[in-house]
Amino acid sequence: MNETTERVDPGRTVGRYRLLRRLGRGGFGEVFLGEDEDGARAAVKLLHANWAADADMRRRFAAEVEQARRVSGFCVAAILDADPDADEPWIATEFIDGPTLQQAVTEDGPRTGADLQRLAVSTATALAAIHAAGVVHRDLKPDNIMLAPDGPRVIDFGIARAVESTSVTASGIVGTVGYMAPEQLEGMRIGAPVDVFSWAAVMVFAATGREAFPGPTQASRITRILSGEPDTGDLAGPLLETILACLSKNPKARPQARDLLGHLVAGSAPSGVAPTKTEGAPRPDPTLSYTRMERPDPVAGPEAAHMAPPPPSGGHRTPPPREERSTPRPPHGEGRAESGAWGASSGPRGGVPPYHFGGTRFVGIEELAAAFQGNWGEALRVFADPEEFAALGSWVMHDLGDTRVDRALFRREVRDVNLALATFIAEAAPELPPRFRGHDASIKGLAALFHDPTPLVSGAPRANELIMTARPQVLFQMSRHGGGDSAHLASLARDVERAERAGLDFQRELIENLDGWRDVPARVDPALALVFLLRPETVLAPDPGAGAGPETGAWIRALWSRVEATSGADRAGSAAAVYGVLGVIVSMTGQRRELLRELEARKGEQRHLVERDTWRSRHDTALLCLPLLAIASCGVGGGAAAGPSPGLGGFLLTVAALAGFAFMVLLVVRMAEDGRVRSAERRRSNVLPTVLRHTGQALRRMDQDLERARRICSRPHTGA
């Protein structure tokens, strides 16, 4: 795990652990490096204060801890200790000393060959162990896979839940866009298959260095997961087939983790699994009726006996009806246009077989649409199940004979379930108020929902929910509902589209012109643009946070000048673009500070080596002169003493010569021993100018990028 992270207040403790530094933060909490009295290290995760104040969240966190303790310790970061009842609930897991898979692939490139195969097997092993304990990870991604010296480990069970209690509510979707399964994005009840989908998306990233479902915006990435095909790069063979099976849109078609592991070890692809690609794939005939249809009594006609085929094995058994709702037919001649009004084809003549939903019998499409809108989660299951959806299509088209709902909706494969449901409701009952996933989608409701950019900037759990709602396609469907907001909603949808384009154009202009931005992906959050459109007063320059440094502020001021020079949708899009690259700015300015420190350190090292070499040269010269001076001194002294006693002078001269010779021998030996050190220092001294030159060039390029950014943002800008 990266140790160059933010330090915390000295002396802060959690349980038996003294916190050394912050390792990361997310929507649910913060992770710190902790150390106990014996020096053993742990990754200590604290729940955010806003979550800690939630009694239900505390209860679920305690359950998650107990579930996670049951996971076998191989291939995962083992739980060492936890206290769900503390003022700040926390959990301590094994500290993995190594980079994340995200860091490793970003810095060293994609994995290939046996390295990729080992990674796939190890992570699938961890997944099998997690699922065997009855836990769903729900946020498996490259940042949650640590590459330890003894092999990969899966980390972060802070948001894992027991399989039997897994659910998602309108309060938010847990996970990371890019590695979330379609049913997870749709807000449907989820289970272990979401982790299998995430595993496959992680393997695509490990093998290609790119997400499996890339896109320039969050909304486009979500749409591609829901309805598009993965980009698997150069992957081939059984591993590719296994990954494609795991990326199936249908969770029932994905292999279980233990079966996945078996296929990887055997080098075989899963059999009998529906492929991800769906073009030309057969789907149930929408004219057939299945489990949600109740046919007329036999007395209704001779054809009734064969109209309803038997339900498929394992099909849903409709509960006994509690209530029947019907739509009153207007008098003949009081029809409305087909855009949602009553017409000659708005319903069948004679009796209408009821459709069952949520324990209620419906014989009118408007009431059914209202029920769908009021129970979005259950309605999603109808649209996500091909058989259930075929039954709905048969009832609408053949039993009701309704032509207001576009029949193409039932004849195409449903890929974006939320959008399909919103389309059905808008076409079947446009008089209903606009609502999406339980949210009021009127202008007033959207203004209340998108009133604060903070959840989107911080990555809070509800951010994904907001992103799904802010998509222009969704807003266009909301505009189809009658009422005074219709035109305003359509205009807002167009403004969000324009804001996205403006933000992407701004980011691409930076990427194309700034040397250090070549690999930066262009991404603009439509939900953030929508906040800025609905709440112009929130269009404020981002705060990079404490410790960001003056360089970060300089970059933000430079880019924000583009925002100040624009208005309307362009202003909202440009502001969203700046927020979108805030992490890039903070990272690059942090690198610049490191380079400056490196430059100063190398300059100091160079001065030290030069001074040391000079001192040694003078010192060695002085040492060589000493024996000569000693011999000379003894010679003069011996000559002076030779007058009265010539033998004594000769003796002193001989002693001085021998001492000088011995001193010189010792000096030569010492210089020989020191030679290797001096040689290494000279080599280092010769290399340092190159290091200094490259470091200086990197700093100049960064400074030049900042100046180019200032010029780009100061140029007159006109929106498209």
Question: Residue 406: helix, strand or coil by DSSP?
Answer: coil
Q: What token pair was written down for 201? A: 């998306």
DSSP class of 396: I
Are 220 and 348 part of one and the same domain?
A: no
Q: Which two tokens stand for residue 365?
A: 């499409």
* Cβ burial, residue 647 (10 Å; 0-12/13-18/19+): exposed
Is the same domain home to 522 and 655? no
- Rounded to whole angstroms, how far apart are CA atoms 188 and 226? 13
Note whether 174 and 138 are within 8 A (CB).
yes
| Residue 24: strand pairing partners | 31
Q: At a CB cut-off of 8 Å and minimum separation 6, what does 682 contact? A: 613
Single-letter code of the amino acid located at 55: A
Q: Which amino acid makes up residue 341?
A: A
Confidence of residue 347 (pLDDT cuts 50, 70, 90): very low
| Same domain, residue pair 687 and 616 | yes
Structure tokens at 243: 């990954």
671 lies in the same domain as 579: no
| pLDDT tens profile 171-215 | 345 567 889 998 888 777 778 999 999 999 999 999 999 999 988
Counted residue by residue, the chain has a size of 720
Phi and psi at residue 404, to the nearest 5°: -75, -40
pLDDT band with cut points at 50, 70 and 90 for residue 612: confident
What pLDDT was estimated at residue 708? Answer: 94
> Do 610 and 685 sit in the same domain of this protein?
yes
Among the three residues 50, 79, 95, which one is the final residue of a domain in this structure?
95
462 within some domain:
no
pLDDT recorded at residue 620: 65
Rounded mean pLDDT, 593-612 = 82
Sorting pLDDT into bands at 50, 70 and 90, what band is 276?
very low
Task: Find residue 45's DSSP bridge partners.
Answer: 31, 91
Comparing 152 with 545, which gets the higher pLDDT? 152
Q: Is residue 460 part of a domain?
A: no
* pLDDT on residue 588: 86
Q: 244 near 197, Cβ under 8 Å? A: no
pLDDT, residue 339, reads 33
Residue 7 — very low, low, confident or very high, per pLDDT cuts 50/70/90? low
Round to whole Å and give the CA distance between 70 and 67: 5
Out of 9, 139, 259, 620, the active site residue is 139
Position 164 pLDDT exceeds 50? no
Span 30-76, pLDDT tens digits:
888 899 988 889 888 887 766 666 777 777 777 777 777 778 767 78
Q: What are phi and psi of 34, to 5 degrees?
A: -115, 160
What pLDDT was estimated at residue 573?
A: 95
Residues 128 and 261 in one domain: yes
Beta bridge partner(s), residue 18:
13, 35
CA dihedral 392, 397, 399, 401 (to 10 degrees): 140
45 is in an annotated binding site: yes
Cα 432 from Cα 427, distance rounded (Å): 10
Over residues 223-248, mean pLDDT: 90
Instruction: Based on the fold, state whether residues 274 and 291 are members of the same structural domain.
Output: no
Q: What pLDDT is stored for residue 675 in this prediction?
A: 65
pLDDT at position 435, please? Answer: 95
Instruction: Tell me which residue range forms the domain holding 550.
Output: 496-587
115 shares its domain with 250: yes
Give the torsion through C-alpha atoms of 424, 425, 427, 430, to 10 deg: -170
Q: Average pLDDT, whole number, for the chain?
A: 78
How many structural domains is the chain composed of? 5
Say how far apart CA 34 and CA 45 lie, in whole Å.
10
**Residue 279 pLDDT > 70:** no
Considering the domain architecture, whether residues 180 and 262 belong to the same structural domain is answered as yes
Highest mean pLDDT among 59-73, 274-288, 290-304, 656-670: 59-73
Q: pLDDT band at 273, cuts 50/70/90?
A: very low
In a domain, 445, yes or no: no
Last residue within a domain, chosen from 397, 412, 427: 412
3-state class of 24 per DSSP? strand
Whether 659 has a pLDDT exceeding 80, the answer reads no
Asked whether residue 571 falls in the same domain as residue 685, the answer is: no
Query: How many CB atoms are closer than 10 A to CB 376?
Result: 20
- In a domain, residue 485? The reply is no
Q: Is 139 a catalytic residue?
A: yes
For β-strands 13-14 and 435-436, DSSP reports them as: unpaired
Q: Record the tokens describing residue 223, joined without a space.
A: 């749409």
CA distances from 589 to 108, 217, 301, 598 (A): 22, 24, 78, 14
Let me know: does 147 contact 17? Beta carbons within 8 Å: no
**Span 251-268, mean pLDDT?**
89
Give the least confident one: 45-54, 128-137, 368-377, 567-576: 45-54
**DSSP 3-state of 41:** strand
What distances in angstroms separate CA 586 from CA 172, 581, 589, 687, one per listed residue? 27, 9, 5, 31
First-last CA distance in the chain = 45
Assess if residue 437 is contained within a domain.
Answer: no
**CA-to-CA dists, residue 669 to 612, 627, 662, 664, 675, angstroms:** 20, 15, 11, 9, 10
Q: Say how far apart CA 174 and CA 166 lie, in whole Å.
A: 11
Q: What beta strand segments (E) does 427-557 contain?
A: 435-436, 439-440
In a domain, 418, yes or no: no
| Confidence (pLDDT) at 318 | 38
Give the mean model confidence (pLDDT) for residues 150-155: 87
Q: Are 173 and 185 a contacting pair, CB within 8 Å?
A: yes
- Give the Cα separation of 631 and 638 in Å (integer): 10
User: Domain containing 55 — which CATH number?
Assistant: 3.30.200.20
pLDDT given for residue 196 in this prediction: 96
Give the global pTM. 0.60
Tokens of 332: 């003949």
- Specify if 458 maps to a domain: no
Please report, for the domain that includes residue 255, its CATH number.
1.10.510.10
Which SS3 state, helix, strand or coil, does residue 529 take?
helix
Residue that is last in its domain, among 587, 614, 641: 587
**Taking 50 as the threshold, does the pLDDT of residue 241 lie above it?**
yes
Q: How far apart are CA 179 and CA 161, in angstroms?
A: 18
Residue 368 exposed, middle or buried by CB count within 10 Å (0-12, 13-18, 19+): buried
Mean predicted confidence (pLDDT) in 677-700: 78
Write phi, then psi, for 659 (nearest 5 degrees): -65, -40
Residues 514 and 387 occupy one common structural domain? no
Three-state secondary structure of 611-676: HHHHHHHHHHHHHHHHHHHHHHHHHHHHHHHCCCCHHHHHHHHHHHHHHHHHHHHHHHHHHHHHHH
268 and 364 share one domain: no
Residue 150 pLDDT > 60? yes
pLDDT of residue 538: 93
Residue 451, pLDDT score:
92
Question: Residue 619 corresponds to which tokens in the numbers above?
Answer: 């010192």
Least confidently predicted of 227-241, 262-276, 587-601: 262-276
